[in-house]
């Protein structure tokens, strides 16, 4: 066979296969340790008991914008994320990060030109009776520009790092799940703001039919900026209804479907409320083409909350409640699960965790690319 013939054969085979983005990272899979730091910064991984656990694939970090860029547009505080990425890489683990804007938007965003509208939430904290705080309107284009600048800097620093496994979307919700307003009074107020934008804000010059018509394109624009900033890292949307009405359910599905269609295999979703169901558990029905994950709704030490009704009676002994939750994730085609650290440490649970991890990894689709023959010789 001539060299030119072999080359044509290789090109022909490649043309029939789906193309990957350059240097695409593998889809997240397995078990991630869900841990929280202090002051809106990532947890310190120094001495973490799971760094050497072969059943743990990575660590899920929660971060807030005002902790990473507290003072002004030109200064960043990356130190803690840098340390977490370095330690994870040292032990062959992955890291995933969410950066919340919304209620955690820095004050300078509202105070520097162009001015961003500060919406004061009517919602109150039931524990204290105080207001939960302020947030920008996602369709405020002045806000979008400032958030896009931060996301671009975030991506420029970490997208090329193989230890960063996936990032979770922020910027069009209160925190990380996709809930924008929860209180019906807030829903009414932001609807009025969308229809009658306040004067004096250059990013709010357009009137919409309602807040849903303003919210959906704003979310899609922010998602597009994330995908541009993270061209090789999976970008994940955490489910949640943006509005406390049926339109919120519709908007959530619209945005999810748009993301999957625009960025197949690169855009995924995570459900932040994984509940348990007792055995028997079904096998997954299909392997999904895009990333899909879950986050435990609570620790398995609270089984009455963990189980969907009806709660088993008697409640099975540990670690069965955790296994029942992970088995449900497998049945629902999950590829990874974020689990509270307390549920990942017990030595007697490791065999069960190893088995569930293997099932989650089996839900990640492969390319099924034909392997190149190993005995080809080029004959001049």
| pLDDT of the chain, 380 residues: tens digit per residue | 443 433 333 333 333 333 344 458 999 999 999 999 999 999 999 999 999 999 999 999 999 999 999 999 999 999 999 999 999 999 999 999 999 999 999 999 999 999 999 999 998 887 788 888 999 999 999 999 999 999 999 999 999 999 999 999 999 999 989 999 999 999 999 999 999 999 999 999 999 999 999 999 999 999 999 999 999 999 999 999 999 999 999 999 999 999 999 999 999 999 999 999 999 999 887 877 789 999 999 999 999 999 999 999 999 999 999 999 999 999 999 999 999 999 999 999 999 999 999 999 999 986 333 333 333 333 33
Q: Which residues pair with 120 in a beta bridge?
A: 134
DSSP label of 121? P
112-155 residue pLDDT tens: 999 999 999 998 887 788 888 999 999 999 999 999 999 999 99
pLDDT of residue 20: 40
From the CB of residue 60, how many other CB atoms can be counted at a distance below 10 Å?
29
273: its two tokens: 């409320």
> What is the CB-side half-sphere exposure of residue 193 using CA atoms within 13 A?
22
Distance CA 69, CA 144 (A): 16
Distance CA 215, CA 199 (A): 19
Closest CA to 59 of 42, 72, 73, 38: 42
pLDDT of residue 124: 86
Name residues whose C-beta falls within 8 Å of residue 132's C-beta, 6 or more positions apart in sequence.
103, 121, 123, 124, 125, 174
b/e sequence 110-121, b meaning 16+ C-beta within 10 Å:
beeeebbbbbeb
pLDDT of residue 221: 98
DSSP label of 20? P
* Strand (E) or helix (H) holding 296: strand 292-296
Rounded to the nearest 10 degrees, the angle between the axes of helix 141-158 and helix 211-229 is 20
pLDDT of residue 125: 80
Place of tokens 């520009």: 145
Closest CA to 55 of 377, 348, 271, 374: 348
Distance CA 338, CA 378 (A): 49
What's the angle, vertex CA 140, arms to CA 146 and CA 222, rounded to 5? 60
């Amino acid at each position: 066979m001539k060299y030119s013939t072999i080359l044509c054969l290789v090109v022909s085979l490649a043309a029939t296969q789906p193309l990957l983005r350059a240097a695409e990272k593998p889809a997240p899979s397995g078990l991630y340790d869900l841990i929280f730091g202090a002051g809106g910064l990532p947890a310190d991984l120094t001495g973490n008991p799971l760094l050497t656990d072969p059943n743990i694939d990575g660590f899920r970090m929660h971060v807030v914008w005002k902790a990473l860029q507290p003072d002004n547009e030109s200064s960043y505080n990356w130190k803690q994320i840098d340390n977490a990425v370095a330690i994870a890489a040292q032990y062959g683990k992955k890291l995933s990060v969410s950066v919340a804007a919304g209620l955690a938007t820095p004050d300078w965003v509202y105070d520097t030109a162009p001015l961003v509208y500060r919406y004061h939430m009517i919602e109150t904290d039931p524990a204290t009776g105080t207001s939960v705080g302020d947030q920008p309107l996602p369709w405020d284009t002045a806000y979008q520009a400032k958030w896009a600048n931060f996301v671009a800097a975030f991506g420029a620093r970490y997208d090329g790092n193989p230890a960063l496994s996936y990032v979770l979307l922020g910027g069009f919700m209160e925190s990380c799940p996709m809930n924008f307003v929860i209180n019906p009074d807030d829903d009414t107020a932001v609807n009025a703001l969308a229809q009658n934008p306040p004067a004096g804000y250059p990013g709010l010059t357009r009137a919409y039919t309602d807040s849903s018509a303003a919210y959906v394109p704003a979310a899609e624009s922010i998602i597009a900026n994330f995908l541009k900033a993270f061209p090789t890292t999976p970008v994940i949307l955490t489910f949640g209804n943006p509005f406390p009405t049926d339109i919120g359910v519709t908007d959530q599905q619209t945005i999810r479907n748009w993301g999957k269609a625009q960025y197949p295999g690169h855009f995924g979703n995570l459900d932040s409320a994984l509940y348990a169901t007792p055995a028997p558990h079904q096998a997954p029905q299909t392997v999904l083409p895009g990333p899909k994950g879950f986050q435990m709704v609570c620790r398995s030490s609270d089984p009455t909350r963990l189980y969907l009704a009806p709660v088993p009676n008697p409640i099975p002994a540990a670690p069965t409640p955790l296994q029942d939750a992970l088995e449900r994730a497998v049945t629902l085609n999950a590829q990874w699960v974020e689990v509270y650290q307390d549920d990942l440490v017990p030595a007697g649970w490791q065999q069960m965790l190893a088995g569930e991890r293997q099932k989650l990894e089996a839900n990640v689709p492969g390319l099924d690319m034909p392997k190149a023959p190993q005995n080809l010789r080029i004959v001049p």
